[in-house]
Amino acid sequence: MHLLEQRLRSEDVLAAQLDALVDQDETLGDVRKRVKEVPLRATTPGFEGLSRIIVGQLLSVQSAAAIWQRFTDLLGTISAERFLEFEKSAFDGVGLSEAKFATIRAIANAEQGKTLRYDLIEKAPLFEAMKALTAIKGVGPWTAEVYLSFCVGHPDIFPAGDLALRKIVAHHMGHDATPSISETMKLTQKWSPYRGAAARLMWRYYAVVKDKEGIGL
């Protein structure tokens, strides 16, 4: 399979898709030069990757990292089975919100009950993979898109629900107002089939422009 068609799980694939993206939209050439390195951000699939995304929602990179460290220190082995061994009270000092704890528990129960199959999600068409993930209570489209992008490496996902991405898209395209999710999806359609590479580029661009990271992964 050609690099342009592969999952975003290696630096070589990302570089090739960024090259193709810039050829497709020349306005991104200066962005790529300014940001220099674009992180691949390939993360562990399965319970570990999905729970880490949940932990990091709506938090700064530093806060997310601190909570994740306490979470991993408590569990030792990061797995659904291990998570379910603990009572809720064991997580009181970790820093998880009630909603995040409930979502991670729902994920763990779904995995143990075989209604969540990471192997099938990895192979499924994008629509079916999104449907399977968002069927879990507490897992919304943004979480599903980020999981499929970074943990699975789908090459054509742009998580338009992410506020940092919407802000930097507006900045890049010269819009005064931050576009809505649906508007962002329309604006970034021109970057298909390399929207995964575009999202990584835009997140890095946000970090450079705002001098902070846009997502805690």
Pair (135, 121) in one structural domain: yes
Mean pLDDT of 162-189: 96
Q: Structure pTM?
A: 0.90
User: How sure is the predictor about 217, in pLDDT bands with cuts at 50, 70 and 90?
Assistant: very low
In percent, how much of the chain has pLDDT > 70?
A: 97
The count of structural domains within the chain is 2
- Domain assignment present for residue 106? The answer is yes
Domain housing 170: 3-41+157-210
Pair (138, 61) in one structural domain: yes
Residue 142 has pLDDT above 80, yes or no: yes
Pair (60, 147) in one structural domain: yes
Query: Whole-number mean pLDDT of the chain?
Result: 93
Residue 186 has pLDDT above 90, yes or no: yes
The string of pLDDT tens digits covering residues 15-74 is: 999 999 999 999 999 999 999 899 999 999 999 999 999 999 888 889 999 999 999 999
Q: Which residues of 113-148 are buried (b: 16+ CB within 10 A; e: fewer)?
A: eeebebeebbebeeeebbebbbebebbeebbbbbbb
Q: Which of 133, 152, 171 is the last residue of a domain?
A: 152
The tokens 């809720």 sit on which residue?
Answer: 88
Distances (CA, A) of 129 to 11, 46, 142, 161: 24, 13, 13, 17
Residues near 170 by Cβ (< 8 Å), separated by ≥ 6? 176, 177, 178, 179
Contact yes or no for 105/84 (Cβ under 8 A): yes
Pair (18, 97) in one structural domain: no
Pair (55, 17) in one structural domain: no
Pair (84, 175) in one structural domain: no
Pick the more confident residue, 214 or 111: 111
The pLDDT of residue 61 is 85
The pLDDT of residue 84 is 97
The pLDDT of residue 212 is 60
- Token pair for residue 129? 């993979």
Q: Which of 120, 152, 184 is the last residue of a domain?
A: 152
Q: What is the CATH number of the domain that holds 167?
A: 1.10.1670.40
The pLDDT of residue 215 is 53
